[in-house]
Structure 1
Amino acid sequence: MAVILGIDIGGSGIKGAPVDTATGKLTAERHRIATPEGARPDDVKGVVAELVRHFGHKGAVGVTFPGIVQHGVTLSAANVDKGWIGLDADKLFTDATGQNVTLINDADAAGLAEAKFGAGAGVAGTVLVLTFGTGIGSALIYDGVLVPNTELGHLWLRDKHAETWASDRARERDDLNWKQWAARASKYLQHLELLFSPDLFIIGGGISKKAEKWQSALVLERSKLVPAALLNDAGIVGAAMIAEHRTGSKQKK
């Protein structure tokens, strides 16, 4: 079977696991290391290299990044160190690990994984995957094809910046209960519904583990909404998928 190492860089932790890209299943228990304070490039590359060593992995590696990624270059840094802006992060991680690394936006990775192996599997038309955590990530999928780097968490709703108002971090910061948070998230989702008319919303990120607390309180006009099925493994799985796709790697276990 094809096994690719996927690594997911998050605001509080960097986690990885080898993935069977034919099934979307992890082939070993995921390993997590705390994200270095400030998430500076040199510090993060050290953690990525440590994860590669932990699994003794040789071959293609997929890595997610919480910002815009074009051709391996990171172009934004909303929730990490500004040193990432304009950085060839593919090369940074490839040099640090000695393996062929492919970088992808974290929400895009989660979207690919959910569309193929999770809650979006077999769904035709437009699927919009949103990850609520430190910010709000987005992945727009049409008939299984990703439109990359949508960054819909940075939309403005009148005077409200979406991710600083409706993210999970905003819920914690403003001490909102789940019903109060859902009222904010509903306004955001209704705006996206107006813009994109998705057939399905998939809600991921850390809150996906607590769907029973918020799902019934979210209000949409016409789109269907479900929680993510892969939970916190989606980024890891999607990172492995894009690494295999872009390198044509067929690593065998």
Structure 2
Amino acid sequence: MASDLTRAVGIDIGGTGIKGGVVDLEAGELVTDRIKVPTPAGAEPPAVLEAVKKVLETLEVADSDIPLGVAFPAIVKNGKTLSAANVSEKWIGFEAEKFFEDGLGRDIHFANDADVAGVAEVRYGAAKGVEGLVLLTTLGTGIGSAMIYNGVLIPNSELGHLARPGKDKDAEYYAAYSAMEREELSWAKWAKRLQWYYSHLEFLFSPDLFVVGGGVSKHPEEFLPLLKLNTPIVPAVHRNNSGIIGAAALSLGAMPQLAQATAAD
């Protein structure tokens, strides 16, 4: 596949699955099938790298010079992963960007998975042109978050790990989509947990818009109407593809450059 400045590959590494696709950067849409493989048990670095290679091979871009962005479920600073909520603890303090670049034999752009989903929604989706503070949350294995103020991303917010007063477990354990599956909750019972979570975010940050992404965003009609908030709350336009699209978009430049371009649209 020929490389140009209008297409890039996005890889979205999650706690249960690793997804990828080739993205049209002008339209913000996948131009290939979305390829998904299971996240290896234990999610240690060598096994995750091999799974990413499998996705790239399936997309037929393993030997291409097409730009590549990788999204990962951890705090990411200067290419290093500083946390590991749903992957091996071996990622903590790990030079992840260099590890992937050496293993794949190419330059990449590496960032937090929820942050890149936020970039996708700012550039192409529900947060485009929205003034003020947008909080994007991804509801899946955990809860990821992206904070966007006047089109500019504030990285590594990690709002899924807010403490719950008097409880040992954080907001993510209580209200992620995985909690609904683990405890076999109905949509209505799960929505009560989300009501607490989004009301708490609303009190802390007074946002202008909530955007909900992650796998469960395919079913917004099941839970969003059950929430009573003062802040508008909408599903991510790109649903569970936001991570792929945002990672691809960031492959051509750093976050501030993209944010400035987005704010100028």
What's the TM-score, normalizing by structure 2?
A: 0.90
Distance 1:194 1:163 in 2: 18
Q: Select the residue among 212, 231, 234 that pairs with 1:203.
A: 212
Question: After superposition, where does 1:71-150 map in structure 2 within 5 Å?
Answer: 71-150=78-157
**Overall identity of the aligned pairs, in %:** 48
Among candidates 17, 27, 49, match of residue 23 of structure 1: 27
| Equivalent of 1:6 in 6, 10, 16 | 10
- 2:224 is matched with 215
User: C-alpha distance in 2, partners of 1:216/1:120?
Assistant: 19
In the alignment, does 2:208 pair up with 1:193?
Answer: no
Q: State whether residues 199 and 224 of structure 1, in contact with CA within 8 Å, keep that contact through their aligned partners in structure 2.
A: yes
Greater CA drift, 129-138 or 169-178:
169-178
CA shift at 1:66, angstroms?
A: 0.5
TM superposition shift of 1:156: 1.1
Secondary structure of the residue aligned to 2:66 is: coil
Which residue among 48, 52, 67 is the counterpart of 1:60?
67
Uncovered stretches (5+) of structure 2, i.e. residues with no partner: 258-265
1:27 maps to amino acid: V
Aligned-pair RMSD on alpha carbons? 1.4
Q: Distance in 2 between matches of 1:50 and 1:98?
A: 14
Question: 1:231 and 2:239 equivalent?
Answer: yes
Task: Specify the SS of the correspondent of 1:157.
Answer: coil
User: TM-score normalized by structure 1?
Assistant: 0.94
Q: Offset of 1:155 from its aligned partner?
A: 0.3
Deviations 1:157-190 (A, max 9, x none): 2134100001111111122111111111111111
Q: CA deviation at 1:51?
A: 2.3
Q: How many aligned positions are there?
A: 247
Alignment-mate amino acid for residue 80 of structure 1: V
Q: 1:182 aligns with which of 191, 205, 225?
A: 191
The offset of 1:79, in angstroms, is 0.7
Contact 2:7–2:66 (8 Å) recurs in 1: no
The CA distance in 2 between the partners of 1:214 and 1:158, in whole Å, is: 24
Once the two structures are TM-superposed, the CA of residue 146 in structure 1 deviates from its matched residue by 0.4
Q: 1:52, 1:88 → 2: CA distance?
A: 21
AA aligned opposite 1:240: A
